[in-house]
Amino acid sequence: MCGIVGYAGRRNALPILLDGLKRLEYRGYDSAGVAIVGSGLQVVKDKGFIANLEAQLPPLIGSTGFAHTRWATHGAPSKVNAHPHIDCTGKIALAHNGIIENYAALREKLESRGHKFVSQTDTESLVHLIESYYEGNLEEATRKALHDARGSYAILAIHADEPGKVVGARNESPLVVGVGPDENFLASDVPALLRYTDRVLYVMDREMVVITPNDVSIQDMEGKPIHRDPQRITWSLEDAEKGGFDHFMLKEIHEAPKAIHETLLGRLANLEVDGFLSQGVTSVKLVACGTSYHAALVGKYVFEEIARIPASAELASEYRYSQGPSERPLVILISQSGETADTLGAAREARRRGSKTLCISNVVGSSLTRETDKTIYTRAGIEIGVAATKTFIAQLVALYLIALKLGQDRGALGYDELDRLKDQLRSLPRAAQYVLDRADEIRNLAKKYGNARDVFYIGRHANYPVALEGALKLKEISYIHAEAYAAGELKHGPLALVTPATPVIAVAVQDPTYEKMRSNIGEVSARGSPVLAIGTEGDKELPKFVDDVFEVPNLPWVLSPVPVSVALQLFAYEVAKMHDCPIDKPRNLAKSVTVE
Amino acid sequence: MKAVILAAGEGARMGPFTASVPKVMIPVGNRPLLESTVQALVENGVRDLVLVVGYRRERIQSHFQDGKAFHARITYVTQTKQLGTAHAVAEARPHLDGPFLVLNGSNLVDGRFVEDLLGSGGKPAVLITQSERPRSYGVATVEGDRLVAITEKPVEMISNLINTGAYALDERIFEEIDRLAKDGKHDLPSAVSALAQRTPVLAIRTEGTWVDALYPWDLLRLNATALKGTHEVRSGTIEPAVTIRGRVSIGDGCVIRSGAYLQGPLSLGPGCEIGPNAVLLPSTSLGKNVRIGAHTSVANSILMDDVILGPASVVQDGVIGSGVVARAGLLAAAGAGDVQIEGEWHAVPQLGALIGEDVEIANGVSVAPGTIINERARIESGARLRGTIPSGAVVL
């Protein structure tokens, strides 16, 4: 998972590339580099954040080039492994996002022919391969090289003897073209382009693209031209600024009520959810990775409760390699970016098995939306913080809407029940706001509990996945070891780890397992663990059993994951802030994972 | 030229409506008060804005973000202690150079108002206007077009010209602010009065709009003023046999059920659902995601985001905070009422109910004119309310 941006135009490329690169930093940031064709090919790269590269850049002159920010998969983060990579002649530069699977074989073959390799990356084999095919035309050579390479990639290449031309290609890693007057752009993601143009076109899998200052040509792997018109992007960079908040993550947590509003907008009154039809659906399988998988797990409980339909959740990386049993559930794939490699693979597998597929994504036109039969968009707006916050909340809301629709169509819900649930959904923005209005309380709790080395989260039922997500947030951004358990499982092992030095965060809202949860809390507090409970407003009993309570509004249990998640997001944020962690760019992580 | 907008205050006299939002974020005409100030400045080419924020600043920041959506560039300065308006301006000092404007974020203003202020041509000035209740404000003593002094809430009648709290200033004001701060005075009018002793300060009478809300019921006047500029917008789904008269703005994703009668000026935010045979009368604003039940009638009221009004209810001249849920048959009609705000009684000739955020009201509740129900109170079926219901109270 990396970010790339390319430019061919009349202006000096360097400032444009660096600006674009900074907007892609969320995709990875352990090293960065830039290649520019001016008077010859000039390449500068180094380990570390983009600012680190910028600080040591000589003034590179030239109006063709590209830049790359890397998130290491093959080869450690280092200067030599940073992109761009160059060939033996020093004329071709290549940046690559993805994985070349057969790089070892390619490398062996190329080395035997005398090519000199300097890095441990899979990418370097590709640039030498292009060199070996080069006969004066970069796109020809690239095409031939890609016929030999196997794997996923978005690549950009330039040649010293062909100024004004950037060649790109895509297979399973994102690449978009930005179309401007007298200049054209290539990038992994739209935010890198928005300052310069709002006209973009998406490059599809197994396609190549050549940009020059005046032309964009897309072609297939046989070199046949493909015509595609640019689309206009309606959102703007303003979404990408912090607006007075210390971090994007905090800004985005505070946007939860808005994300809920937008996701409900126009869908609730008549339950028209982007044309989703529930006919023939007899069971549901939810498939996703990471935070989206936690939404999927909540979804299982939501579907069973509201729609009375069998539902299960599975990790995309497991589902796609498992044996498909004979049933044909509706497969719901969840991915914020819509570019998650494993989820894309799972979508293809689900279709191969003959299931209908539905995806929940936050990015219009993303790869996943093209791989599935139907898309329901979460309308959370762009999310920059690497830790998903408002988009997780919006995913939950989308799941409620689908469940309501299924419940209505299957007759699982009476008219009055449906109406009551709709009103309760309308109250969700307020429930999230209630938590946000009490951020000070959470800050104080973070001070009290945030100095531990290990933290355990427990929950049951629909709030078990919420505990998993709370622990993930804490791990991601504060680097504190956190584990979540279904509270009933404590006595099957984890209790051995519980000591007075391990605080326990317990989700204990009013739900069908509340009483059980209280005995589970008893199990840990008996071993001396300080317990912070997330409870329901007005619960007079809970404070007697635990050290601290943070209250969320009284909602039907099936909706409680929304305010509880907001509370746990804020808690993780406050702990990370207290420890001065780089909250928006945690180490080793990237926003959307487009490698397997 | 840059402008400093004062938006740090809580607005305690606004009763339950500032329980979790600052005064500048109270919606009138379906947008936060502060938006009118921002828009008026931008219309006049003043795009570089310094917002001094404090109380519940996250609400302001999440709405305005970096200002691009409003064609402005916004810098936020946090006033940690709400000492006074002069202190607030001093907090913005590092972001200022040369002449600048200062405006109060909680007034409803228009482009003409800012244009008048810019008329000083960069010289120090204060905008003044006529008022029917000068004793509630700072009264300006003026000689010709020059300000002599501003007297806060005078006991004796000086004149009916009051300070609108909008100024054109330059760095000289900081000397006065620093000097007064040593005496423990932190209000901007005193600093401007002191400045007027040393150097000419123009007193400009504005021809533009300037409406101030001191008390919650003033919001209805501001709402009506703001709704005068309503543009007709039809969005969402409008079922057959809906009557729409006058200027009515219907936001994205709204559903208007059959038989509803909508008389403008009205503004409906996105995602509202208006039940069958509901009646909406002027001048009413509904925020986002509001649901109005069948046969319910609402007149001259503000309903903030996420309000649910059940069937067969009546709401007149009322202000209803975000997230209020009222089941069937709420009766909150208007009449003359005595209202207590911060210990003081006010006789208001025409007022309905003032209901704070997240109040829950069960079936068949009747609310006397001028009743305040503070935030998060819970009212059980059949209750009859008058006076002030404390926040979080349960009324059986």
Looking at this predicted complex, what is its ipTM? 0.89
CATH no. for residue B130? Answer: 3.90.550.10
- Choose the mutation target among A198, A249, A261 for the interface with B, i.e. most B CBs under 10 Å: A261
Is B185 part of a structural domain of the chain? yes
Give yes or no: residues B134 and B253 share one domain: no
Average confidence (pLDDT) over B315-319:
98
Residue A240's pLDDT is: 45
Q: Which of A56-70, A81-95, A562-576, B40-54 has the highest mean pLDDT?
A: A562-576
Average confidence (pLDDT) over B130-157:
90
Give yes or no: residues B205 and B282 share one domain: no
Nearest to B101 by CA among B114, B82, B110: B114
Give yes or no: residues B24 and B163 share one domain: yes
Measured distance CA(B396)–CA(B390) in Å, rounded: 14
Of the partner residues B62, B66, B325, the one whose CB lies closest to the CB of residue A241:
B66
Instruction: Return mean pLDDT, chain B.
Output: 94
Q: Where a domain ends, among B214, B240, B272?
A: B214
- Choose the mutation target among B63, B65, B257 for the interface with A, i.e. most A CBs under 10 Å: B65
Instruction: Return mean pLDDT, chain A.
Output: 91
Q: Where a domain ends, among B162, B187, B214?
A: B214
DSSP A86-138: E-TTS-EEEEEEEEETTHHHHHHHHHHTTPPP-SS-SHHHHHHHHHHH-SS-H
Is B221 part of a structural domain of the chain? no
- Residue A591 appears among annotated catalytic residues: yes
CA-based nearest distance A13→chain B, Å = 26
Residue A252's pLDDT is: 95
Is B308 part of a structural domain of the chain? yes
Q: Residue A124, exposed/middle/buried by CB under 10 A (0-12, 13-18, 19+)?
A: buried
Of the partner residues B61, B289, B323, the one whose CB lies closest to the CB of residue A264:
B289
Residue type at A289? C
pLDDT per position as a tens digit, B164-198:
999 999 999 999 999 999 999 999 999 999 999 99
Of the partner residues B53, B236, B323, the one whose CB lies closest to the CB of residue A427:
B323
Q: Where a domain ends, among B191, B214, B237?
A: B214
Q: Does B327 touch chain A (CB under 8 A)?
A: no
Q: Does A438 touch chain B (CB under 8 A)?
A: no
pLDDT per position as a tens digit, B321-341:
999 999 999 999 999 999 999
Residue A238's pLDDT is: 46
pLDDT per position as a tens digit, A302-352:
999 999 999 999 999 999 988 877 678 999 999 999 989 999 999 999 999
Question: Do B58 and A245 count as a contact with CB atoms less than 8 A apart?
Answer: yes
Q: Which are the contacts of A222, defined by CB distance < 8 A and separation ≥ 6?
A: none
Give yes or no: residues B188 and B309 share one domain: no
DSSP A525-568: HTTT--EEEEEETT-SSGGGTSSEEEEE----GGGTHHHHHHHH
Residue B154's pLDDT is: 86
Q: Does A267 touch chain B (CB under 8 A)?
A: yes
The structural domains of chain A, ordered by start, are 3-237 (3.60.20.10), 241-426 (3.40.50.10490), 436-596 (3.40.50.10490)
CATH no. for residue B242? Answer: 2.160.10.10
Q: Does A244 touch chain B (CB under 8 A)?
A: yes
pLDDT per position as a tens digit, B206-260:
999 999 999 999 999 999 999 998 889 998 999 999 999 999 999 999 999 999 9
Residue A594's pLDDT is: 65
Share of chain B above pLDDT 90, in %: 86
Give yes or no: residues B207 and B59 share one domain: yes
Is B312 part of a structural domain of the chain? yes
Range of the domain at B101: 2-214
A234 falls in which pLDDT band (50, 70, 90)? low
Q: Does B325 touch chain A (CB under 8 A)?
A: yes
Name the active-site residue from A2, A289, A359, A581: A2
Of the partner residues B271, B306, B357, the one whose CB lies closest to the CB of residue A266:
B271
Question: Do B253 and A267 count as a contact with CB atoms less than 8 A apart?
Answer: yes
Question: Do A267 and B357 count as a contact with CB atoms less than 8 A apart?
Answer: no
Is B384 part of a structural domain of the chain? yes
A596 falls in which pLDDT band (50, 70, 90)? low
Higher pLDDT, A294 or A50: A294
Q: Which of A201-205, A238-242, A491-495, B390-394 has the highest mean pLDDT?
A: B390-394
- Confirm if A584 and A62 have CB atoms less than 8 A apart: no
Give yes or no: residues B163 and B186 share one domain: yes
Question: Do A243 and B74 count as a contact with CB atoms less than 8 A apart?
Answer: yes
A239 falls in which pLDDT band (50, 70, 90)? very low
**Is the pLDDT assigned to residue B150 strictly greater than 50?**
yes
Residue B133's pLDDT is: 86
Give yes or no: residues B172 and B246 share one domain: no
**Is the pLDDT assigned to residue A236 strictly greater than 70?**
no
Residue A235's pLDDT is: 55
Residue B1's pLDDT is: 86
Question: Do B273 and A423 count as a contact with CB atoms less than 8 A apart?
Answer: no
Measured distance CA(A134)–CA(A91) in Å, rounded: 11
Is B115 part of a structural domain of the chain? yes
Residues in B touching A264 (Cβ below 8 Å): 271, 289
Residues in B touching A433 (Cβ below 8 Å): 20, 322-323
Q: Does B322 touch chain A (CB under 8 A)?
A: yes
A277 falls in which pLDDT band (50, 70, 90)? confident
Measured distance CA(A433)–CA(A258) in Å, rounded: 10
Question: Do B62 and A434 count as a contact with CB atoms less than 8 A apart?
Answer: no
Residue B14's pLDDT is: 94
Average confidence (pLDDT) over B16-23:
95
Give yes or no: residues B48 and B185 share one domain: yes
Give yes or no: residues B204 and B233 share one domain: no
Is B220 part of a structural domain of the chain? no
pLDDT per position as a tens digit, B79-128:
988 899 999 999 998 888 789 999 999 999 999 999 999 999 889 999 99
Residues in A touching B291 (Cβ below 8 Å): 423, 426
Average confidence (pLDDT) over A94-123:
91
pLDDT per position as a tens digit, A176-204:
999 998 999 999 988 788 888 888 888 88
Give yes or no: residues B53 and B178 share one domain: yes
Q: What is the residue whose two structure tokens read 């519980």?
A: A498
First to last CA, chain A: 9
Measured distance CA(B141)–CA(B131) in Å, rounded: 14
Is B37 part of a structural domain of the chain? yes
Average confidence (pLDDT) over A404-423:
93
A26 falls in which pLDDT band (50, 70, 90)? low
Residue A132's pLDDT is: 94
Is the pTM higher than 0.80? no
Q: Write the CA distances from A447 to A93, A441, A442, A574, A579, integer angstroms.
A: 49, 10, 9, 8, 10
Give yes or no: residues B304 and B270 share one domain: yes
Question: Do B66 and A242 count as a contact with CB atoms less than 8 A apart?
Answer: yes
Of the partner residues A237, A251, A553, the one whose CB lies closest to the CB of residue B62:
A251
Domain count, chain B: 2
| Mode of pairing for the β-strands spanning A548-552 and B31-32 | unpaired
- Confirm if A344 and A367 have CB atoms less than 8 A apart: yes
Vertex B214: Cα angle to B209 and B218 (nearest 5):
70
Give yes or no: residues B32 and B153 share one domain: yes
**Is the pLDDT assigned to residue A475 strictly greater than 90?**
yes
Measured distance CA(B106)–CA(B111) in Å, rounded: 15
Residues in B touching A245 (Cβ below 8 Å): 58, 61
Cis peptide upstream of residue A512 (ω within 30 degrees of 0) = no
Q: Which are the contacts of A104, defined by CB distance < 8 A and separation ≥ 6?
A: none
- Choose the mutation target among B62, B73, B74, B258 for the interface with A, i.e. most A CBs under 10 Å: B62
Average confidence (pLDDT) over A265-269:
91
